[in-house]
Amino acid sequence: MLKKFCCIIVFVVGILNISFSQQQDCIFKLQEAEKLYTQGLIEEIPQLLEPCIKRGLSKEDKLQAFKLVILSYLFDDNQQEAEREILNYIKQYPEYEITPTDATEFVYLFESYNPVPVYSFGGSLGSNLSLISLLEPFDTDNLNDYTGNYTPSGIGLQGGLFIDRYLHKNWRLSVEFAYAQNKFEYNDIIKDLEKEDLLRIRYIETQTAIQLPLTITYDFQTFNKWNPYFRTGFSTELLLDAKSTLTREYIEMQLQKVKGSDIGIKNNRKNLHYWIVLGGGIKYKIPHSYLFFDVRFNYGLNNFVETQNRYDENEQELILKHYYTHDDFKLSTFSFSLGWAYTFYKPQKRSGN
């Protein structure tokens, strides 16, 4: 075992030594290329540096080597090779910003191409609040005295992946695949014949689902790394599961609070739900990618309740044991997420160049 461990150590040290030796060799070649450039001996520079550009230099040294190769081709009147190298340069450093020390010839060639973002791919993780819009009550008590109230039941979790297709300038088309949990609760007071408060009912529902939002995003360009954006679109949700938990508490009687077991109610919910999506957020630019904070309001369009299954076996249990029956309602959500995305660029020749 010890012998095997020593062999691994020797192998790792050997690899590190080779890498260090290669880096030192490339640094020496870069220094030689700089001397040749100042002397006007440019023909040998590309052959000297191109292997080191592929491997063996730090980022700053690699940038300098790239520039020397491109300028060598330009001064050698080899426009085709210069453009090939500038395309490689932009693919690797699409967000490069020109500095005052950059040669005029390099700047002109670099700015003749536009590093256009094509796709972004990333993920997000966040939370949501469920908001219920009552369509029609179906109370077990007198509907004239309906006192039911829907509120969020804590925070639901959500997360997913997305891909953005850049359409034109500041516009992006976003397709997402997300897993979401929605939670809400219903509270009601059951009264006796004398209209006195008799029983307090608390119903909590937890849903899990897959969401497929399709949205259009407009990015507001600023002169720093922070860029706000606006989003609108449409979302479909496929319900995976829905469970309910009920608690009843007698108000006047000295009886213990009664909590029922979880009841699966997926059969009482529609499988597909539809939302209009409105939202926005802010992006923070980092090399080749960005971080973002996203806020959305998903406005529910359809009834969540499967009306043809009203008063089935599940609902009979809710009515008889807990004095609760499903109202018709729509579900909307307010969500906020943090995420990261990597951007892929494609250099394009600017018009007029």
The answer to whether residues 257 and 143 belong to one domain is: yes
Cβ contacts of 142 within 8 Å, gap of 6 or more: none
The answer to whether residues 190 and 316 belong to one domain is: yes
Residue 275 belongs to some domain of the structure: yes
Cβ contacts of 79 within 8 Å, gap of 6 or more: 73
What is the predicted pLDDT for the residue at 234? 97
The answer to whether residues 156 and 298 belong to one domain is: yes
The answer to whether residues 213 and 337 belong to one domain is: yes
Q: What's the pTM? A: 0.76
Side chain identity at residue 101, one-letter code: T
Residue 4 belongs to some domain of the structure: no
Residue 3 belongs to some domain of the structure: no
CA proximity to 336, closest of 215, 158, 161, 210: 158
Domain end marker among 62, 81, 115: 115
What is the predicted pLDDT for the residue at 181? 95
Q: Quick one: tokens of 67? A: 């520039």
CB atoms within 10 A of CB 91: 13
What is the predicted pLDDT for the residue at 17? 41
The answer to whether residues 261 and 214 belong to one domain is: yes
Q: Which of 16-20, 34-38, 131-135, 196-200 has the lowest mean pLDDT?
A: 16-20
The answer to whether residues 288 and 317 belong to one domain is: yes
The answer to whether residues 227 and 306 belong to one domain is: yes
Element (H, E) at 35: helix 2-38
Domain end marker among 71, 91, 115: 115
The answer to whether residues 163 and 276 belong to one domain is: yes
Question: Is residue 352 pLDDT above 80, yes or no?
Answer: no
Instruction: Give the total number of structural domains in the chain.
Output: 2
Cβ(85)–Cβ(70) below 8 Å: yes
The answer to whether residues 145 and 233 belong to one domain is: yes
Give exposure, 325-337, as e/b (b: 16+ Cβ within 10 Å): bbbebbbbbebbb
Q: What is the CATH number of the domain that holds 157?
A: 2.40.160.20
Question: Is residue 202 pLDDT above 80, yes or no?
Answer: yes
Place of tokens 């509907």: 143
Distance, in Å, from the CA atom of 180 to the CA atom of 3, rounded to the nearest integer, reads 51
Please state, for a pLDDT cut of 90, what percent of the chain lies above it.
34
Domain end marker among 115, 135, 154: 115
Cβ(191)–Cβ(250) below 8 Å: no
What is the predicted pLDDT for the residue at 15? 39
C-alpha separations of 326 from 9, 103, 152, 315, 322 in Å: 67, 73, 16, 8, 12
Please state, for a pLDDT cut of 70, what percent of the chain lies above it.
82
Q: What is the pLDDT of residues 16-47, one digit of tens each?
A: 343 444 567 788 877 888 888 888 888 888 88
Residue 351 belongs to some domain of the structure: no
Expressed as residue numbers, the domain containing 60 is 13-115
Instruction: With H, G, I as helix, E, B as strand and everything else as coil, classify residue 260.
Output: coil
Place of tokens 């939302």: 275
Question: Is residue 11 pLDDT above 60, yes or no?
Answer: no
* Burial zone of 238 (CB within 10 Å; 0-12 exposed, 13-18 middle, 19+ buried): exposed
Residue 353 belongs to some domain of the structure: no
Give mean pLDDT, residues 321-336: 85
Residue 212 belongs to some domain of the structure: yes
The answer to whether residues 28 and 97 belong to one domain is: yes
Backbone angles phi and psi of 223, in degrees to 5: -100, 25
Question: Is residue 1 pLDDT above 60, yes or no?
Answer: no
The answer to whether residues 230 and 275 belong to one domain is: yes
The answer to whether residues 44 and 73 belong to one domain is: yes
Question: Is residue 146 pLDDT above 50, yes or no?
Answer: yes
Give mean pLDDT, residues 323-328: 79
What is the predicted pLDDT for the residue at 8? 47
Residue 294 belongs to some domain of the structure: yes
Residue 312 belongs to some domain of the structure: yes
Q: What is the pLDDT of residues 290-318, one digit of tens each?
A: 999 999 999 999 999 888 877 777 667 77
Distance, in Å, from the CA atom of 70 to the CA atom of 65, rounded to the nearest integer, reads 9
| Contacts for 110-114: CB closer than 8 Å, 24+ residues apart | 110/86, 111/350, 112/349, 112/350, 112/353, 113/86, 113/87, 113/347, 113/348, 113/349, 113/350, 113/353, 114/347, 114/348, 114/349, 114/350
Place of tokens 């880096």: 23
